[in-house]
Amino acid sequence: GRAVFVGGHGFVTARTGDAGSAIAAAEAGSVLVAVGVEKQFAGSILMADPVRADVGEMLAGLRRDGVKRLVLATGDRAAVAERIAGGLGLDAIHAELSPDRKVHVVLEERKLGPVMMVGDGVNDAPALAVAEVGVAMGARGAAASAEAADVVLLVDRIDRLRTGFVIARRARAIALQSVVVGIGLSVLAMLAAGFGYLRPVQGALLQEAIDVATILNALRSLRIAVPAAEGAATRPAT
């Protein structure tokens, strides 16, 4: 049954007529919201987005895995972006970006090499679509970003990005190994059969053995060891 005003300090002061006590300046990257009840200034709420604790370790791991460049592209104010990026060792920071400007950043980065874009909001969807690999945080992200992305992380854990990165690279290496070895052995068997060293039945049995060996080698993808937390043992990606 009482009027409550929430917003900027000037907005609340104008409606309550009470400037309240002096308000300490908010730290960079935070938002200070004033609250008034009826004709009295009630106080202020300081809101800020904390940086995920595992981001620094994850980014360092990506660099060890061969990622050359790490860039932050955000629609937040420059002060917020600087606070979030502090100590993360990023190569570039782009703040106050609209969706089309995020697309421009991705296109500019593509001139330097393949780009993987990670995002979770509606504003990230266009940039996810134009990147070589778009990764959406699907647990709390917007449906539009998940639709535009190539990969969706179904848990709200940014460290799983490196897990997916490692699994993809090692699975691709195993697949290429299986293709090269399988085709190579088949070609050798055909040459041996062509020169009369293998009878048809022997060739057929040998080909089946090559196929089984190739399949068994490919199944190693089910047991790829992925990086765990720093100091912990690796675990298989089953």
- Per the structure, the count of domains in the chain is 3
What is the domain range of residue 147? Answer: 55-158
CA distance 164 to 162: 5
Is 83 exposed, middle or buried, given 0-12, 13-18 or 19+ CB atoms closer than 10 A?
Answer: middle
- Determine the average pLDDT of the residues in 66-86: 86
- Of 98, 129, 158, the one marking the end of a domain is 158
pLDDT-above-90 percentage for the chain: 38
- Of 158, 179, 209, the one marking the end of a domain is 158
Pairing of strands 151-153, 133-137: parallel
In this structure, the answer to whether residues 65 and 139 fall within a common structural domain is yes
Beta bridge partners of 134: 117
In this structure, the answer to whether residues 124 and 108 fall within a common structural domain is yes
Name the pLDDT band for 58 (thresholds 50, 70, 90): confident
Q: Would you state the pLDDT for residue 223?
A: 85
**Each residue's pLDDT tens digit, 99-141:** 999 999 999 999 999 999 999 888 899 999 999 999 998 766 6
Supply the CATH number for residue 90's domain. Answer: 3.40.50.1000
Q: Would you state the pLDDT for residue 211?
A: 92
Amino acid at 78: A
Q: Nearest to residue 135, comparing CAs of 156, 120, 122?
A: 120
Q: According to DSSP H, which parts of 71-157 are helical?
A: 78-85, 99-110, 125-130, 143-148
Q: What is the pLDDT of the chain when averaged over all its residues?
A: 85
In this structure, the answer to whether residues 149 and 60 fall within a common structural domain is yes
Q: Report the 10 Å Cβ neighbour count for 197.
A: 11
Which residues neighbour 71 within 8 Å (Cβ) at sequence distance 6 or greater?
90, 91, 92, 93, 94, 105, 109
pLDDT higher than 60, residue 230: no
Q: Nearest to residue 163, comparing CAs of 71, 225, 232?
A: 225
- Of 158, 177, 194, the one marking the end of a domain is 158
At residue 32, what are phi and psi to the nearest 5 degrees? -105, 120
Could you tell me the pTM of the whole model? 0.66
**Each residue's pLDDT tens digit, 181-194:** 999 999 999 999 99
- Determine the average pLDDT of the residues in 168-179: 91
pLDDT higher than 90, residue 6: yes
In this structure, the answer to whether residues 143 and 98 fall within a common structural domain is yes
In this structure, the answer to whether residues 138 and 103 fall within a common structural domain is yes
